[in-house]
Structure 1
Amino acid sequence: MIDNKSKYTQLIKSEAKRLGFLSCGISKAGFLEAEAPRLEKWLNNNMNGQMQYMENHFDKRLDPTKLVEDSKSVVSLLLNYYPSENQSEKAFKISKYAYGTDYHFVIKDKLKSLLHFIQDEIGDIHGRAFVDSAPVLDKAWAAKSGLGWIGKHSNLLSQQVGSFYFIAELIIDLDLEYDSVTTDHCGTCTACIDACPTEAITEPYVVDGGKCISYFTIELRENIPTEFKGKMDDWMFGCDVCQDVCPWNRFSKSHSEPLFNPHPELLSMTKKDWEEITEDTFKKVFKNSPVKRTKFSGLKRNINFLKD
């Protein structure tokens, strides 16, 4: 006879697959003991740049039971965003995750569907959905849930599908069967460290956020420091270098989410097109895109920094 824990776990994983998630792993909600000193050291070394929000809610970041009352399980989910086509090689580049509709909207809808399914099938279950929008250490939870290991570039990596996917969570007050941690398969490889244009990966598994191209082009509100002139590798929004060179991403397969398909103009635009981009074109090409976060003025700043 299958006990309820096992039955509910299989139900949730099957529904996650039906909703289009790449994989689903589950771990027991509780304090992330190993992460506490690591996060504290990273913050003390000012590796969060001007991302002051990273210093807030330290306790909540490490313990989901402080975010969701009586929570028992963290359901971690991956959603593939690897595109079937890339931008023109003659273009300023944006990170692949930003080609289509903003992932927050796409994933939030899927998570709400999953939570409603759990409530309909299992009963009075309470929980919250998280997509990169609250103090949850999503990579740590995904690794704890057996979905991969944290690579030397600090992204979650899987032998089956590499690293081009979003991570999200449902934190719920339901006991489930828990997955076990997988092993690290980076070995002696240092491809990501060697390839980082700004040397932001200061040592294996440690990224100085204040030196990362993604930080400069998205988070930083001031001018990009002149010392990084000529080191941005033509990235105008985000950066994929450490993922592009990772051998495990040979196994990436194209996503099947229509909402992540890029606006047709995005793939054909050249550097000249980007240099001459108008606000109208920006609004059209990036209508529901994560690129809106940097605003038209931010994107222009990035482009000007690359071309000057």
Structure 2
Amino acid sequence: SELPRDPAWYRERARALPAWQDPPSVPGSFRRRAVEDVLYTSASMAGMWRFPHYATHRPYHQLIEYAGWLRRLALMRRAERRAAAAIEGICSSPGPVFLFPLQLDCDYQVRVHSPFRAMHLAIEHVLASFARHAPSVARLIVKLHPLDSGLIDWAAITGYLAVELGIADRVIILDGGDMGALLARKPAVVTVNSTVGTLALACGLPVVALGKAVYDIAGLTFQGELDDFWRAPTPPDAMLFDAFRRVLAARCLIPGSFFNEAGLRLAVEAAIERLEATYARAARGVPRPSADIESPIAAAVSMR
């Protein structure tokens, strides 16, 4: 990202921007996502003979991932019931709570923008630090990514490590569950560089990013070591987050969704508006300020 990590820069740029308004809520569609993925995979396989040396960054062939998804979908309802019950128990129990949302193991930004080449290394790092330095009454929620294929048994890996470290009674593993309900419990959040970090910051929750993240800015996220975060998690500066969010939305984002007709229409309209404004300014000879616009058609995410 060209955006700087200087808090003063965001405060200064935000002065010229209007007050924050939540973007329109556009729910995604898992069915549409799945159908389009299957169509893409089918087209890719049909054209493989033309590109025999093509290699994907994903560790598994998509057909193997689909097999994992079939098993995951068969068990999803039961997993959701267990997660809902676990969250209910978390919300009614005292003591500090930490949330570690897992990211996809095939997520390339984990490999490129973090010190971990795979998610199991991040899990080992976080659990070992929690075991050594977190208060004895603290609990750690490890939440599986909702789009994980299930090929890797993250619950088993996490559970085994928790037993080995003597913290099995303080580690809660969730496969499913509502993120909003979890954040309402006001946990401190440990993340590699997940977008859950922005959701937590919007809720005023302490966040530490273990990798590179656009929101990893002094005043927003914890800037010390993870070992120290467990005992001294600090909430973000609300005014700085407001400035950061407004600048990020104005410079990098457009509202919408790729997986919903209404959301796609909204994204196209917003992209056209952004492009026309950019070209109109160029036609007037107005120079592009440094880090002014990351991309006029950046992927849109609602930061709520």
Asked if these proteins are the same fold (TM beyond 0.5), I'd say no
Name whichever structure is richer in helix by fraction: 2
- Higher-Rg structure is 2
